[in-house]
Amino acid sequence: MKNFLKKSGWTDVLVSIVFAIIGIFMIVKTDSAVKIISYVLGAIFIAMGVVRVIDYFASKGKYDFYNYDLVYGIIAIVIGLVTIFCSGLIESMFRIIIACWIIYSGLIRLSLSFKLHTAQISMWNISLILSIIMILGGIYILFQSGALVVTIGVIMLVYSIIDLIESLIFVKYVDELL
């Protein structure tokens, strides 16, 4: 269990680093960030869809519409095309998804800070403050419909730094929490 929790903590560290990179990219390349992200996500969905469709025909050799590979492949291709050609919609969805993720992470970190307090670990108050900042940042992104990509990038960068600190605290004290 301890190893699983430590691996989970290190996975959170990796996710935080990815969020930091995306945040920096959104700050530096404001005008093209959403389009590039949309194109990359669209290409990934299309590639996944094409692979599934090819797998379907290669392995089955017949038209079996109950096979999920074909349905999954077609849906993934359609999602990829929509993602590429509707980048404005993607920007709005991206803002909402990121906001919900940050709020969710903040709530999880808030719970962790109370567990740290119960375990009488002195870092609990820092964890509490950071989790509240995360929640407030997520709420700001969620309700600020005119939030610029730069603002989202800055908040994502701040979130990733806070989440990185929280994850390292968790990994350090995982033994005492069990």
Q: DSSP states of 68-124 as a string? A: HHHHHHHHHHHHHHHHHH-HHHHHHHHHHHHHHHHHHHHHHHHHHHHHHHHTT-TTH
pLDDT of amino acid 63: 55
How many CB atoms neighbour CB 173 within 10 A? Answer: 19
pLDDT of amino acid 77: 94
pLDDT of amino acid 103: 92
pLDDT of amino acid 18: 81
pLDDT of amino acid 71: 85
- The pLDDT tens digits along the chain (178 residues) read 667 666 667 777 888 888 888 888 877 876 677 777 778 888 888 998 898 888 888 776 555 554 677 888 899 999 999 888 887 776 777 778 888 988 998 999 899 899 889 988 888 899 899 999 999 988 988 887 656 577 778 888 888 888 888 888 888 887 777 6
Closest Cα partner for 21 from 33, 7, 11, 38? 33
Contacts of 112 (CB under 8 A, 6+ apart): 127, 131, 166, 170
Domain residues for the domain of 101 are 2-177
- Residue 35 to residue 124: CA distance in whole angstroms: 40
pLDDT of amino acid 52: 83
Domain total for the chain?
1
- Residue 152 to residue 150: CA distance in whole angstroms: 5
- Residue 40 to residue 25: CA distance in whole angstroms: 14
